[in-house]
C-alpha cells in the first residue's frame, strides 16, 4: 500500500482563500511589521515569500531591513515604535539574528498581543499551561492542522518528535500533549532514536538532517510529518527518506508542498487574528 499524501499546499491555499474573503470585509487592511537584520540568503527568501503571500490576500507589510551590525538598542526602538503604532497589528523578527544580538531580549520586547510568531514567553507560557495564548507559532500550528485532518482523535496516540527546537519541536510537543498524546521528544543527544520512532503512531521529523528517517525507523501504517528543508544533490528534500518509507506509512507530508506552505498560511492567520484582537473582536 502506498501512503496517502498529506497535501499541505492545498490546505494552505484553502486557508489563504478564506482569509482573503474575510479581510475583504474589513474597513482597513491588517498590517504586519517584519524586522530583518543582515542579509542571510535564506532569510531574504523567507521574508520575500511572506511579503508576497501577505499581499495576495490583502495584508500590508512593512519591512525594516537593517544592516548586519545594527545595535540591539536600535532594534528595540523599532519594536517599541511598532508596539505603539496602532496601524501595526503584528510584529515578527526574522530569525536567526546576527550573533551579537540577544534573540530572547528582542523577542521579549514585542507586545504579546502583536507577537504573531508566538515566541514571546507570555504566549509560550500560556500554551505550556494549556490556556489560550494570543498566538501559537506558525509551524507547529500548521502541523497540528495537518495531523488533525488525518487523525481527528489524538487522545492516547504515541507521538515521537525528532528535534527539540524552540520554534518547532517544543511548542509542537506541548500542543500534542494538550491533545492527550503521549509525546517523546528526541534530539541530537538521544540514544537509540530508532527504538522510539519504531513505536510511533505519528512521527514528526524536524532536525534538518536530509533523509535521516528510513523505512526501518517507522511503524507500519504510521503518520509521518516531515518538517525538514534540506538539499540533497541540489534537490530540496526533507528529514524523511520519502521514497524509502512511502510504501510502509499510512500518510506522509511531501517536501516541498507539505509543512512549508502551512507555516506561511498560519502566519497570515495569526496576523488576521491580531487585527481582530486589537479591534477587540476576538
Ligand atoms: P534547529 O537547528 O533549531 O533544531 C534542530 C533540532 O534537531 C535540535 O533539537 C537538534 O538536537 C535536533 N537534531 C539535529 N540533528 C539530529 C539528529 N541527527 N538526530 C536527532 N536529532 C537531531 O532546527 P529547526 O529550526 O527546528 O529546524 C529543523 C528543520 O526544519 C530544518 O531543516 C529547517 O529548515 C526546517 N524548518 C522548516 C519549517 C517549515 O515551515 N517547513 C519551519 C521551521 C524549520
At 177-205, the pLDDT tens digits run 999 999 999 999 999 999 999 999 999 99
Q: Which of 136, 227, 255, 265 to mutate to test the pocket of ligand 1 (most atoms within 8 A of CB)?
A: 227
β-pairing verdict for 182-186 and 158-162: parallel
CA 281 to CA 263: how far, in whole Å? Answer: 24
Summarize the confidence of residues 231-253 as an average pLDDT: 97
pLDDT of 78 over the 90 cut: yes
Query: Which ligand 1 atom is nearest residue 239's CA?
Result: 32
Helix or strand run (H / E) with residue 159: strand 158-162
Tens digits of residue pLDDT in 258-270: 999 999 999 999 9
CA–CA distance from 206 to each of 84, 102, 255, 268 (Å)?
36, 24, 12, 22
What does the mean pLDDT of the chain come to? 97
Query: Which DSSP category does 96 fall into?
Result: S
- Span from the CA of 226 to the centroid of ligand 1 (angstroms): 10
Summarize pLDDT for 143-166 with one digit per residue, the tens. Answer: 999 999 999 999 999 999 999 999
* pLDDT confidence band for 256 (50 / 70 / 90): very high
Nearest atom in ligand 1 to the alpha carbon of residue 230 is: 32
Model pLDDT, residue 280: 86
What is the CA angle 158-162-164, rounded to 5? 105
User: Which residues, at least 6 apart from 239, have a Cβ–Cβ distance to it below 8 Å?
Assistant: 162, 163, 205, 206, 207, 208, 209, 210, 211, 212, 213, 226, 227, 228, 230
Indicate the pLDDT class of residue 1, thresholds 50, 70 and 90. Answer: confident
**Residue 82 parent element (H or E):** helix 72-84
Q: Tell me, using a 6 A CB cutoff, whether residue 238 lines ligand 1.
A: no
CA distances (Å), 62 to each of 36, 44, 52, 75, 118, in order? 11, 14, 12, 15, 19
Q: Percentage of the chain surpassing pLDDT 90?
A: 99
Write out the catalytic residue numbers.
50, 94, 117
Distance from residue 2's CA to the centre of ligand 1 (Å): 27
Specify the residue with its C-alpha closest to ligand 1, atom 6: 163
User: Which whole number is the average pLDDT over 200-212?
Assistant: 98
* Distance of CA 20 from the midpoint of ligand 1 (Å): 31
Domain architecture of the chain: domains with CATH = 27-125 (3.40.50.10860), 137-261 (3.40.50.720)
0.95 cut: is pTM over it?
yes
25, HSE (Cβ side, Cα atoms, 13 Å): 6
Question: From the CA of 279, how far away is ligand 1's center (Å)?
Answer: 36
Which residues contact residue 119 at a Cβ distance below 8 angstroms, ignoring those fewer than 6 apart?
107, 137, 166, 167
Q: CA quadruple 230, 231, 236, 239: dihedral positive or negative? A: negative
Amino acid at each position: 500500500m502506498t501512503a496517502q499524501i498529506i497535501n499541505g499546499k492545498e490546505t494552505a491555499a484553502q486557508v489563504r482563500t478564506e482569509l482573503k474573503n474575510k479581510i475583504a470585509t474589513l474597513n482597513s487592511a491588517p498590517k504586519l511589521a517584519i524586522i530583518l537584520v543582515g542579509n542571510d540568503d535564506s532569510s531574504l527568501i523567507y521574508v520575500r515569500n511572506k511579503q508576497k503571500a501577505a499581499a495576495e490576500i490583502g495584508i500590508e507589510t512593512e519591512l525594516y531591513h537593517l544592516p548586519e551590525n545594527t545595535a540591539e538598542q536600535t532594534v528595540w526602538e523599532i519594536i517599541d515604535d511598532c508596539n505603539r503604532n496602532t496601524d501595526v497589528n503584528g510584529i515578527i523578527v526574522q530569525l536567526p539574528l546576527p550573533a551579537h544580538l540577544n534573540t530572547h531580549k528582542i523577542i521579549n520586547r514585542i507586545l504579546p498581543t502583536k507577537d504573531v510568531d508566538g515566541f514571546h514567553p507570555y504566549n509560550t507560557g500560556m500554551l505550556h499551561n494549556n490556556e489560550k495564548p494570543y498566538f501559537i507559532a506558525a509551524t507547529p500550528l500548521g502541523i497540528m492542522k495537518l495531523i488533525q485532518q488525518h487523525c481527528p482523535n489524538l487522545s492516547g496516540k504515541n507521538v515521537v518528535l525528532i528535534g527539540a527546537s524552540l520554534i518547532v519541536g517544543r511548542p509542537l510537543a506541548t500542543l500534542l500533549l494538550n491533545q492527550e498524546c503521549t509525546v517523546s521528544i528526541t534530539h541530537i543527544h538521544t540514544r537509540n532514536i530508532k527504538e522510539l520512532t519504531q513505536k510511533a503512531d505519528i512521527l514528526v521529523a524536524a532536525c534538518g538532517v536530509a533523509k535521516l528517517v528510513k523505512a526501518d525507523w517507522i511503524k507500519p501504517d504510521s503518520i509521518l510529518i516531515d518538517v525538514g528543508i534540506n538539499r540533497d544533490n541540489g534537490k530540496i528534500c526533507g528529514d524523511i527518506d520519502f521514497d524509502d518509507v512511502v510504501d510502509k506509512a499510512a500518510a506522509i507530508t511531501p517536501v516541498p508542498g507539505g509543512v512549508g506552505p502551512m507555516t506561511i498560511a498560519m502566519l497570515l492567520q495569526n496576523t488576521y487574528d491580531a487585527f481582530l484582537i486589537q479591534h477587540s473582536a476576538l
